[in-house]
Amino acid sequence: MKILFDLLPVILFFGAYKFAGGNEAAAFDLASQWLGAGITPTQAPILIATAVAILTSLAQVAWVWLRHRKIDNMLWASVTIIVLFGGATLLFHDPTFFKWKPTALYWLFGVTLTASALVFRKNLIRSMLEAQIQLPDAVWGRLNMAWAGFFIAMGALNLYVAYNFAESTWVNFKLFGGLGLMLVFVLAQGVYLSRHIHEEPN
**What are the tens digits of pLDDT across the range 145-170?**
999 999 999 999 999 999 999 999 99
Residue 133 and residue 99 in one domain: yes
Domain end marker among 63, 89, 115 = 89
Cβ atoms of 133 and 195 within 8 Å: the answer is no
Q: What is the mean pLDDT of residues 100-107?
A: 96
Whole-structure pTM value: 0.90
Query: How far is CA 99 from each of CA 117, 136, 170, rounded to the nearest angstrom?
Result: 29, 39, 8
**Domain count for the chain:** 2
What pLDDT does residue 201 have?
A: 47
* CA–CA distances in Å: residue 24 to residues 16, 20, 27, 92, 139: 12, 6, 5, 20, 51
pLDDT at 202: 46
In the predicted model, is pLDDT for residue 196 greater than 80? no
Q: Domain containing 158: what range?
A: 95-202
The residue from 89, 106, 136 where one domain ends is: 89
* Whether residue 38 has pLDDT greater than 60: yes
Whether 21 and 45 have beta carbons less than 8 Å apart is answered as: yes
pLDDT > 90: what percent of the chain?
Answer: 77
Q: Quick one: which of 54, 118, 42, 111 has its CA closest to 81?
A: 54
Question: For residue 129, what pLDDT band results from cuts at 50, 70 and 90?
Answer: confident
Is residue 55 a contact partner of residue 103, using CB atoms and an 8 Å limit? no
Question: Is 61 in the same domain as 4?
Answer: yes
Residue 113 and residue 60 share a domain: no
